[in-house]
Amino acid sequence: MHNPYKGRQQTFSTQGPRVETIACLFERPFVKPQTAFAMFSLIQVLSLILAMATTSLASPGPYLRRSPTATVVQARDFTNAERFSRGLPPLAPRVLYNPTRVRRSLPSSSPTIVSNVGVFNKATGASVGYVRGATVTTAESSSTTFAFRSPSSASDLVELNDNSSGLHYVLASYTNGYYVGPGTYNSLILTTTTLSTPAGSGQQPDYTKGPIQYSESPIWSIDPSTGVVTAYWVNSNGSQYQVYFLSYVTTVGTSSTTSLIFTGDVAAYKVQFPTRIFTEVTLVVSV
């Protein structure tokens, strides 16, 4: 059979293997020249795309460049002091105090109870921390451990003692006859002393302090059924009023301290110091 492309095959056969391959396609009776050249062009295009893709994967361009890995510090990892210094709100409360919740009563069989004291936001029940002297700490392990006589009722006034040193935690002032109650912003200090005063006697001078402090020791009421701690102050005229507890945060640099304030009139105290933010708190024995 006559092959019309035989002459062209011989002409191209001198140009190398690639042309001979094309010529072989021509020798097939069912392949047209146009189709052969189209197939060859398609193979070239596919090869070029494959080469470009391989090069791109091996050497990523500027649009594929990865940014350096950054270390992200979550805000929840900050302490309250660090959060305050950054203008962040305090940590979410882990424990809420609910005065209506049924809780374990104080052990009535123990003549002396040893415990720390929790501090709770009176309005929300959120935990603020634990009493540590006249301040509040968020670490229970660093809080003050108190020892006190098991109260017979919520009206039974007892002394709060430091379980380690045996010193009495008292409320005091630097003025004798100091009035605390409605209508005045007067406040008291929480301190420790060896002086023990008779119940209901009012202020007694403590000469072990310099300057002299006038204090009262059996002023604490601890409800046996709820563990709520309340304090009462006896004035020189014989009147007795409840003492309310406030917390106040001061920040210096990155360090924050939460202090406890003891006053007989919360509203009057806040009016006296309008630029400060106070939180009324409840003290609860942790048993």
Residue 63 is predicted with a pLDDT of 40
Q: In terms of domains, do 202 and 138 share one?
A: yes
Query: Against a cut of 0.75, is the pTM above it?
Result: no
pLDDT per residue as tens digits for the range 104-150: 556 555 689 999 999 999 999 999 999 999 999 999 999 999 999 99
- What is the 3-class SS of the chain, one letter each residue? CCCCCHHHHHHHHHHCHHHHHHHHHHHCCCCCHHHHHHHHHHHHHHHHHHHHHHHHHHCCCHHHCCCCCCCCCCHHHCCHHHHHHCCCCCCCCCCECCCCCCCCCCCCCCCEEEEEEEEEECCCCEEEEEEECCEEECCHHHCCCEEEECCCCCCCEECEEECCCCCEEEEEECCCCCCCCCCCCCEEEEEEECCCCCCCCCCEEECCCCCCEEEECCCEEECCCCCEEEEEEECCCCCEEEEEEEEEEEEECCEEEEEEEEECCHHHHHHHCCCCCEEEEEEEEEC
Query: Is 29's pLDDT higher than 80?
Result: no
Q: Lowest mean pLDDT: which of 30-34, 72-76, 202-206?
A: 72-76
Q: Residues 55, 89: one domain? A: no
More confident residue, 52 or 11: 52
pLDDT tens by residue, 44-81: 656 666 666 555 545 444 443 444 444 444 444 555 55
In a domain, 186, yes or no: yes
Predicted local distance difference test score (pLDDT) of residue 60: 47
Q: Give domain status of residue 158, yes or no.
A: yes
Query: Residue 286 — very low, low, confident or very high, per pLDDT cuts 50/70/90?
Result: confident
The predicted-structure confidence for 233-243, as pLDDT tens digits, reads as follows: 999 999 999 99
In a domain, 75, yes or no: no
Domain interval for residue 57 = 6-64
Q: In this structure, are 31 and 115 located in the same domain?
A: no
pLDDT of 279 higher than 90: yes
Query: What integer is the mean pLDDT of 27-50?
Result: 56
Same domain, 88 and 183: yes
- Is 69 part of any domain? no
* Count of structural domains, the chain: 2
- Identify whether residues 89 and 129 lie together within a single domain: yes
Q: Are residues 171 and 205 in the same domain?
A: yes
The answer on 201 and 134 residing in a single domain is yes
Are residues 248 and 178 both part of a single domain? yes
